[in-house]
Amino acid sequence: MATDNQHIIYLLERYSSGQATSSEVDRLLTLLRTNHYDETVVSFIEEQLGTFEPDNAEDIAFWKKRLKGGAQQITGVTVNETGAAVVEIPEYARPVHRVHFLRKWGWAAASIILALSLGVYLLTTKTTKTLPPSNVVQAADIAPGKNGAVLILADGSRVVLDSLGNGVVATQNGAQVVLKGGALAYKASDASTGEVAYNTMSTPKGRQFQVTLPDGTKVWLNAASSLRYPTVFTGTERKVTVTGEAYFEVAHHARLPFVVNVNDNEEVTVLGTHFNINAYENEKAIHTTLLEGSVKVRSAYAKASADKPVVLKPGEQAIGAVNSPFTIDHSPDLDKVMSWKNGQFNFEGASLGEIMRQLERWYDIEVIYEKGIPGVEFEGKMTRDVPLGDLLAMLERSDIHFRVEGRKLIVLP
């Protein structure tokens, strides 16, 4: 038991600081569900909660109510009108235009995981504007996305990669397709006939995947995305086609530039670099963000109008809409751009519509607005490995309310 206590405390520290990996969170939940802890862990959490100080009045009120609803039952922490763990404050009106979604992970959040491990989904109970319990339970059953994809081979056959074990998936012209550790890679063989064969990696909603191309380039695909590429690169360039969102780490080959066709609306040319492309059709523009190296971005509009391509420097972002010239953001929020690959939602400055489009793709749901999209802007981050119900409980703080019907999330006026 002592060993389990020490490990749980270590995992709680990792979780509360936002550094825990998905496997560490899973391990923590397993230990808690099987009661592999004693008063040592409880005392440790009580001590941390006693010094926990949220950084604004709204967060204090929020965590106070969350703790009353669940952590007290699990840890024995007494949180009352004058409790030491969370300072009592008068009720404050919620901001209308800007909402603190979840400003930071703290020890209050660490205690909440105890309640969540027992299936207790916590909501404010003193207002009539909360989700009905049945909706919370239903939304909690909608799991977050995971690793998985469909590989479409050159002959049109489809291979679902979600549940396959490690090994050779297929043999394509000039390459073996190998699945290992939840990622796909192409290994050259001696059986090439010289003909060019194309494969397509497609991630449905609720899936993401990684592939290493024949030249060593690594590509991560976000949900609802696709990548078409040859099984062997030939000729004077390495050309692929992408839809949705993808992050590239391009292998350097000075004589073979790497070219990305984006929705037939944009072309990105590189020699070796790291960059992210967000090109979902239901977003207003294509965002190409450079993290390392150099890229040349050219739009279909530029080709038609004879405008020069745009060359990005590290830390810059090209924003291009159909039939419009590029605009350059010289200081984009790189943490927000890369949050999906790093296993997070980053809602800093995001509108409700932007958030809902992310949830549609990651949780494989359909969002319906009963009376338009409320004009609310959010702040904060959250890991992408939580059930939909837990995320909606956080969104409730913004006075945005929902009804869940199967896999339809209905935003109420």
DSSP string covering 341-352: TTTEEE-TTEEH
Does pLDDT of 43 surpass 60? yes
The answer, yes or no, to whether residue 412 has pLDDT greater than 50, is yes
Distance CA 63, CA 104 (A): 11
The model's pLDDT over 276-328, given as tens digits with 9 standing for 90+, comes to: 999 999 998 999 999 999 999 988 765 555 567 889 999 999 998 766 778 89
Q: Grade residue 382 by pLDDT with cuts at 50, 70 and 90.
A: confident
- Identify the residue with better confidence: 303 or 272: 272
pLDDT more than 90, % of the chain: 37
Q: How far is CA 413 from CA 103, 211, 371, 400, in A?
A: 25, 42, 6, 8
* Mean per-residue pLDDT over the chain, rounded: 76
Query: Residue range 190-212: average pLDDT?
Result: 85
388-395 and 133-140 helices cross at what angle (nearest 10)?
Answer: 130
Confidence of residue 379 (pLDDT cuts 50, 70, 90): confident
What the chain holds in terms of domains, given with CATH numbers, is 2-122 (no CATH), 146-336 (2.60.120.1440), 343-412 (3.55.50.30)
Instruction: Please spell the DSSP secondary structure of 36-81, one letter per residue.
Output: ---HHHHHHHHHHHHT---SSHHHHHHHHHHIIIIIHHHH-----T
CA-to-CA distance for 118 and 70, rounded, in angstroms? 10
- pLDDT at 45 > cutoff 50: yes
pLDDT, one tens digit per residue, over 332-378 is 999 999 999 988 888 888 888 999 999 999 999 999 999 888 887 77
Most confident of 61-75, 191-205, 209-223, 295-309: 209-223
Both structure tokens of 397: 């703080």
Q: Residue 207 pLDDT more than 50?
A: yes
